[in-house]
Structure 1
């Protein structure tokens, strides 16, 4: 193959790919596809490099703010969850209704491809391949070595790079200071065909979350509806923990052991944002590559798409001002609005997820009406709720009573 004319994602006979784009976006998940879409819509030449066929294990939950902010059409919402059920180690069930709305559920295989196609319709060029390494020309400009779907090497010379290549990002490790040493939860799920008839206790409009040490020593298990399918999964930072075995136990506990298995997926998920997202020159990170998955909940789609949008804004600023230091805008803007949420969720995970005794108390706290309302208002709108200070005071004292053992779980 002529390295100046690599095949595009759609056809080897398509128009030549621009190997000197203004921006190379590596990774076509929600973060990369959003960044590529926003940059292309501004009129910049964008090359979106993505390895076809990769699907991240994900419950697929998208809050109303994501649907609104990123203009997601209703046909991509395969189910609408109107309640969540928290299940304790001893089997106590706490149902939390989602009043006045719903949490959308998406099929990542369909959803991610729609996002990539939208980027292409905005003008981004797509290429099926993967990043190998970043080199520098004598003048300091980027020289990106890539490999296409046929295994042949080609070189891209972008002015800027958006690294959206997932957890353990190679772009981050090669280009961004302090990117090594990140901590991860390893997630695994099985996509099952929706059972017919539905087993007792299953509800296609409810997300079930299991807090049990037998399913995860430091995270949780989930059963999330996806319309004609469902996602059953678990995660753990313990490398020796058998996630496949724990998902098998979860399927049995949920009465889903007889469901048809459609596919299995597994991947690392970062636990906290990286201390830097850019190199101060021409590289900025987004999504899992930047570490933006919420602790405790594992939610990542909204934060990935927001990170992709902020990365695009940072690149635009860097181009307008001819100053690579503008790339730091992405992290500054993200942390300004979400630092406290990530900090609180991190404390929750480190404290409540360490033993079944504490998990039992955590589920008990979730039965509190104040906790339910503030939690879902914050989740749906992606901001800490400050409108009802007395509710926060009540929650604080109830939480303290649980910590001191003054309230029975």
Structure 2
């Protein structure tokens, strides 16, 4: 009960990092009547394809004006240049620009009651009574500011300073490095469809992940990811733009960042610090999707912190990871296996894209993506997919045709 005995704190919760995860956590906690500080660095935009599923739009009340485009299909492109179109069906995938989207989320947190400050996290100190003190600066080399808090949420990205200081093993989280260029969209053509997301599973662009071309209305995100240290991502994008006839498109900005692909085994320090979003490693393997999972983690973090503040029992903080893994752990496990097997080389990628032609695969893939849960309504479809999947993996033609 140490937290409840402290005579004075500046905030109930300090949230470090104003991306989707931190902003959701700050909003939920402020709505619950907590005194919240949302601390975020200025001018940071994460490289991201910007796709958000209907589940996210509904759960987090995202207004339509933030959607700069609505994708109605995806095109999977194999090493041989074989193309497989996967129409969404009756729905769509929303596309957002992260600079606008993230700022809107931060502004909503402030309107809900969270206090916003701009600054860079430095460290967490402890006062004589054991209270957490978040230390930050407004600019490099500037004066340090100190705020006392009953609890701290670290939502400050894949190389989280909060996690590295407070969570054992956080400095060893595996990452893919992503880089993208935002360009002005070319006119619609056979090669470029403003309502289609292209995903390229080709070793010439990424030896172990994939490249993408995601339209955002007036602009387009052209990106690539790889875990291979030293791989020249910028050169890969230059080749991709040239191959797709987009070399002459005006470049608006470029961004790069590490993206974690495995949740940390522990999200809290057993005392008064909890991490969420990229800091907790909640980016989906194989797909690299992170926005929805970051926001879900932020919500679970807010719930766990509310329990902690109400009881003073630090064990409540473990609830954030427990709830997240209960909801999404199986999906992460399946996607991790997919990435391990199918991204290993171009021969397997070719077979993977071939699998995507299957209507059962397309239907279940879209349902799982749009609703963020594994689909159980069609057990025989899963059986057929398993048999086909094994057939492709082993190179056996005509399995379960």
- Cα offset for 1:407? 2.1
CA deviation after TM superposition for structure 1 residue 177, in Å: 2.3
1:219 counterpart = 2:205: no
**In the alignment, is residue 180 of structure 1 matched against residue 171 of structure 2?**
yes
Deviations along 1:99-136, whole A, 9 cap, x unmatched? 11000000000000000000000010111101101111
1:3-51 deviation per Cα after TM superposition (whole angstroms, max 9, x unaligned): xxxxxxxxxxxxxxx9711100000000001101110111111010000
How many Å separate the matches in 1 of 2:375 and 2:258? 30
Task: Determine the structure 2 residue equivalent to 1:11.
Answer: none
1:120 aligned to 90, 110, 125, which one?
110
Relative distance call for 1:304 and 1:375 in structure 2 (3 A) is: same
Offset of 1:302 from its aligned partner?
0.2
* Aligned position for 1:324: 314
For residue 138 of structure 1, report the CA deviation from its aligned partner.
2.2
**Is contact 1:30–1:112 with CA below 8 Å preserved after alignment?**
yes
Tell me, in whole angstroms, the C-alpha distance in 2 between the residues paired with 1:154 and 1:337: 38
Which residues in structure 2 correspond to 1:23-42 (within 5 Å)?
A: 23-42=13-32
Q: Which moved more, 1:150-159 or 1:35-44?
A: 150-159
Counterpart for residue 10 of structure 1:
none
1:120-168 Cα offsets, whole Å, 9 max, x none, are: 0001011110110111122211122111137221111111001000001
For residues 298-377 of structure 1, what are the structure 2 equivalents within 5 Å? Answer: 298-377=288-367
Is 1:157 the counterpart of 2:148? The answer is yes
1:84 corresponding residue in structure 2: 74
Contact 1:221 / 1:235 at 8 angstroms: preserved in 2? yes
Coordinate RMSD, CA, aligned: 1.3
Query: What residue is the counterpart of 1:72 in the other structure?
Result: 62
Contact 1:189/1:234 (8 A) holds in 2: yes
In structure 2, how many angstroms separate the alpha carbons of the residues matched to 1:347 and 1:50? 35
In the alignment, structure 1 residue 281 sits paired with structure 2 residue 271: yes
- Distance in 2, matches of 1:118 and 1:149, equals 24
**SS state at 1:22 partner:** strand
- Describe the superposition over 1:194-222 as per-residue Cα deviations: whole angstroms up to 9, x where unpaired: 11x33431000000000000100110000
Structure 2 CA distance for aligned equivalents of residues 152 and 136 of structure 1:
19
TM-score when scaled to structure 2?
A: 0.96
> How many matched pairs?
391
- Given that 1:26 and 1:164 are in contact with CA atoms closer than 8 Å, whether structure 2 keeps it comes out as yes
Q: What corresponds to 1:271 in structure 2?
A: 261
Structure 1 residue runs of 5 or longer lacking an equivalent are 1-17
Moved more, 287-296 or 348-357: 348-357
**1:240 aligned to 2:236?**
no
Distance 1:273 1:53 in 2: 27
Asked if the contact 1:185/1:235 (under 8 Å) is kept, the reply is yes
2:3 aligned partner: none
Q: Distance in 1 between matches of 2:238 and 2:137?
A: 37
Does residue 200 (structure 1) correspond to residue 175 (structure 2)? The answer is: no
Answering whether residue 392 of structure 2 is matched by residue 398 of structure 1, we say: no
TM-score by length of 1: 0.94
1:167 aligns with 2:153: no
Distance 2:169 2:232 in 1: 30
Distance in structure 1 (CA, Å) of the matches to 2:139 and 2:194 = 38
- Please report how far the alpha carbon of residue 283 of structure 1 lies from its aligned counterpart in structure 2 after TM superposition: 0.6
Cα deviation for residue 408 of structure 1 reads 8.2
What's the CA shift for 1:180?
2.5
| Structure 2: distance between partners of 1:339 and 1:33 | 23
8 Å contact kept, 1:280–1:326: no
SS of 1:308's partner is helix
